[in-house]
């Protein structure tokens, strides 16, 4: 075969290949256009999702599904806020397309839809990438959300594209405030009790085990009272309420790396607060020193135990107490393995000085 003929044949092949690619691309775009008004994901296999990686210019978070619960893998494997994960997945699965268009490099930059971490791309032009993976690490979905403030999507909508494609879609769900900090995906509600379940609060000296003070509630519907009220002292009712209400949605800010223990002095002088419930369950809270790098945050340790009630023996009571003790140990395993970080406001809600419960005497 002559060289000239070979060159002509190669040229024809390249032309045919280019036409085929163009036709395929047009068909693909046409298919996408036909999806307007339908869901962005024809099918998002939510039940197959085992890991979610969220990445942006200012942070990233890795969430993984464990045997018993979802965890924030990028925060030492601490339990994740499942409701928050479920809400994000549901919104993406339900998102419908309003319109779509092919985005040029200029439009991609203006909408802030470049892949985060892309070389030589300014931060404000980078979007938020979400990758869903199955148990084998295979990508189930890979999308990039826009983040431009100057040309943000109207109302409760977002610009999104499949990361490997240039077609941009306007969907009817907003993800403008998707968190990129791992701490914001933690399950932050540590204890959530109906305060009427609390029978007694005792503040205890950790060294002598002496009770500094107690606040009791005789019955679930009774008001709390101060134990052994000193003569001549007048109680501040709101302080008593504060003492028992602190476990009503007790929320943490963060957790400490299990491999990096707090200073040995962090809990040396910290009192222990024992919250005993009417059913015999006891929560032990020990707030510690402020963090060295953040004086507005404090360390905290928590454990749970069970102390049988003084009720008269009755049929089936032993089995009830056995179950309560087992449940308390289950809670203890979940709580006691971590050192937590709480806000200074919450730290101050745990009253250490009994004088705070009393009205101050008027100066003469």
pLDDT tens digits along 273-297: 999 999 999 999 999 999 999 999 9
The pLDDT value recorded for residue 216 is 95
First CA to last CA distance, the chain:
118
Q: What's the pLDDT band for 20 if we cut at 50, 70, 90?
A: very low
Bridge partners of residue 114, in order along the sequence: 126
Neighbours of 339 (CB within 10 A): 20
Q: Answer whether residue 114 shows pLDDT above 80.
A: yes
Q: What's the pLDDT band for 14 if we cut at 50, 70, 90?
A: very low
Q: What's the pLDDT band for 148 if we cut at 50, 70, 90?
A: low
The pLDDT value recorded for residue 156 is 82
Q: Answer whether residue 110 shows pLDDT above 80.
A: yes
Q: Which residue has the tokens 């200073």?
A: 263
**Rounded mean pLDDT of 179-194?**
95
**Rounded mean pLDDT of 95-118?**
92
The pLDDT value recorded for residue 310 is 63
The pLDDT value recorded for residue 62 is 98
Measured between alpha carbons, how far is 76 from 62 in angstroms, rounded to an integer?
A: 10
Composition of the chain by helix, strand, coil, percent to 5: 30, 30, 40
**Rounded mean pLDDT of 72-84?**
97
Between 159-173, 264-278, 309-323, the lowest mean confidence (pLDDT) is in 309-323
More confident residue, 176 or 285: 285
**Rounded mean pLDDT of 338-358?**
95
Measured between alpha carbons, how far is 75 from 334 in angstroms, rounded to an integer?
A: 16
Measured between alpha carbons, how far is 206 from 325 in angstroms, rounded to an integer?
A: 24
Using alpha carbons only, give the angle 340, 303, 274 rounded to the nearest 5 degrees. Answer: 105
The pLDDT value recorded for residue 154 is 63
The residues, any chain, with a CB within 8 Å of residue 80's CB and separated by 6 or more, are: 63, 69, 70, 71, 72, 185, 186, 187
Between 32-41, 149-158, 315-324, the lowest mean confidence (pLDDT) is in 149-158
Contact between residue 159 and residue 113 where contact means Cβ atoms under 8 Å apart: yes
Please provide the average confidence, as pLDDT, over all residues in the chain: 87
The pLDDT value recorded for residue 135 is 95
The pLDDT value recorded for residue 8 is 45
- For the chain, domains (ranges, CATH) are 35-185 (2.60.40), 189-357 (no CATH)
């Amino acid at each position: 075969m002559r060289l000239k003929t070979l060159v002509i044949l190669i040229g024809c092949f390249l032309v045919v290949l280019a036409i085929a690619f163009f036709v395929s691309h047009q068909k693909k775009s046409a298919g996408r256009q036909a999806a307007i008004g339908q869901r962005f994901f024809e099918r998002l296999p939510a039940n197959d999702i085992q890991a979610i990686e969220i990445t942006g210019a200012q942070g990233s978070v890795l969430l993984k599904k464990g045997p018993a619960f979802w965890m924030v893998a990028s925060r030492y494997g601490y339990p994740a806020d499942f409701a928050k994960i479920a809400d994000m997945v549901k919104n993406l699965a339900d998102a419908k397309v309003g319109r779509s268009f092919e985005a040029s490099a200029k439009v991609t930059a203006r909408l802030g839809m470049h892949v985060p971490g892309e070389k030589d791309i300014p931060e404000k032009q980078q979007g938020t990438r979400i990758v869903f993976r199955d148990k084998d690490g295979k990508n189930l979905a890979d999308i990039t959300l826009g983040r431009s403030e100057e040309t943000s999507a109207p109302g409760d909508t977002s610009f999104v594209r499949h990361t490997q494609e240039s077609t941009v879609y306007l969907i009817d769900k907003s993800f403008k405030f998707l968190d990129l900090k791992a701490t914001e995906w933690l399950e932050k509600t540590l204890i959530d009790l109906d305060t009427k379940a609390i029978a007694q609060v005792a503040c205890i000296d950790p060294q002598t085990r002496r009770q500094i003070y107690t606040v009791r509630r005789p019955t679930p519907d009774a008001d709390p009272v101060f134990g052994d009220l000193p003569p001549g002292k007048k109680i501040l009712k709101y302080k008593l309420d504060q003492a028992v209400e602190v476990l009503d949605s007790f929320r943490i800010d963060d957790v400490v790396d299990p491999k990096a223990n707090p200073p040995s002095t962090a809990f040396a002088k910290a009192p222990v607060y024992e919250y005993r419930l009417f059913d015999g369950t006891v929560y032990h809270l020990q707030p510690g020193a402020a963090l060295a790098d953040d004086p507005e945050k404090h360390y905290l340790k928590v454990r749970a135990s069970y102390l049988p009630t003084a009720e008269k023996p009755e049929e089936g009571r032993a089995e009830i107490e056995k179950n309560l003790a087992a449940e308390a140990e289950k809670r203890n395993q979940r709580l006691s393995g971590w050192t937590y970080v709480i806000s200074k406001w919450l730290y101050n809600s745990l009253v250490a000085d009994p004088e705070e419960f009393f009205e101050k005497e008027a100066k003469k």
